[in-house]
Amino acid sequence: MKLTRTTTGWDLSLINENAQDWMLANWDYLTKVDTPLINVDSSTKIEKGQKLKIATGILYLKPADLVAVKTLCPTAQLMGCKKDCLESSGQLGMTTADNAKVKRTIMLLLNPEQFQHELKSEIIKHHKKHGDSLAIRLNGTSDLNFTDIIASMPDVQFYDYTKVYARVIKNKLANYDLTFSGSANNPKSLQMTARAISAGYRTVLAVNTAETKGEYKLPSKLGDIPLINMDDTDVRFKDDSNAVGVLKRKGSNKGQRAVDELQDGFFFNQSNINKLAAMV
C-alpha cells in the first residue's frame, strides 16, 4: 500500500518521506487514537511556574524539517540551533511522546483547519479549568506564527520564545508575550541579539555551561546589564519586558561544551558573552 493524495485526501508533498513512511506504519494511531495537543504542566521547569500560580500548557511539535518539507523553525539555520536542537537526532516515533509530536505535526500540516479547531477547543477547555492562571505556549519545539489563533482568544495569556526578531518587533497583541532567543552562531546572529537587547526587548541567552564541577557559573551581568536566571521558571511574561536572562545548556556532555568554548555556535561561550557585552 502506498499513501497518496487520492487515498488520503491530503497533500503529502508538505511532509517528508520519513514522515510519509511513519504515516503508513502508524495509520491507526494517526487516524483513530485521540492524542491531546496541549500538555499542561508537563515538565519540571513548567511545574516551577505553579509556585507563581501559573498553569502552563505547551504544544510540542517536531521542529525544523524533521517532518515538514518547509521548516517549522525559519531561522534555525541562521541561529545555529538546528544541529543543537534536542530533537535533531534519532528516528521518528522512538517514544510515545515522540509519536505524539509526529502525529500533531502531520495533522497541522495536512489538515490545518481541523487542527486549529481542535487546538482552540482544548485551550478553551483548559481555560475553563484554570481561568486566568492558565498560560499557553504554542511553540514548545517550533517557531511558527500562531498570531491568528492568539488574536482570536484575547482572554487567554499566550507566550513564546522566538528566534525570529521581526516577530518580536511586530507583535502588538496584548495577550501574547514574546522573548527573543539570542544566538552567538555568527556575526549576524550576534548583532541581532545585541540589537534586541539595546532596543529593550526581553532576551534570553543559552550559555555553554551546565555549571558542573570545573565549569564556570552562569554570568550575573552582561557588561553593566544585570542578567536574571531564566532556569528558575518558564513564566517569562512575569519578567520585566526589557529583562535579559541566561539559561544553562541542556542535553550536552562536558566534552561537547569544552569543544564549543573554542568555536562560535548557538550557545554563548565566555568569549561570545564578552563580545556581546561590548556591543550593547
* pLDDT digits 0-9 by tens, 8-17: 788 999 999 9
The reported pLDDT for the residue numbered 136 is 97
CA distance 18 to 16: 6
Name the residue among 170, 166, 165, 208 with its Cα closest to residue 189: 165
For the chain, which residues score pLDDT lower than 50?
Answer: 89-90
The reported pLDDT for the residue numbered 8 is 78
Q: Please report, for the chain, how many H helices and E strands are present, in that order.
A: 12, 9
CA distance 160 to 33: 28
Q: Are strands 203-207 and 221-222 parallel, antiparallel or unpaired?
A: unpaired
The reported pLDDT for the residue numbered 90 is 46
70, HSE (Cβ side, Cα atoms, 13 Å)? 7
Q: Are strands 176-181 and 157-162 parallel, antiparallel or unpaired?
A: parallel
H-helix segments, 208-266: 254-260
This prediction's pTM:
0.92
Greatest alpha-carbon pair distance for the chain in Å reads: 63
Residue 139: C-alpha distances to residues 38, 102, 256, 268, 270 (Å) = 11, 15, 27, 22, 28
Name the residue among 75, 242, 252, 90 with its Cα closest to residue 166: 75
Query: How many residues are given for the chain?
Result: 280
The reported pLDDT for the residue numbered 94 is 74
The reported pLDDT for the residue numbered 53 is 86
The reported pLDDT for the residue numbered 96 is 87
The reported pLDDT for the residue numbered 40 is 86
93, HSE (Cβ side, Cα atoms, 13 Å)? 19
CA distance 274 to 280: 10
The reported pLDDT for the residue numbered 251 is 83
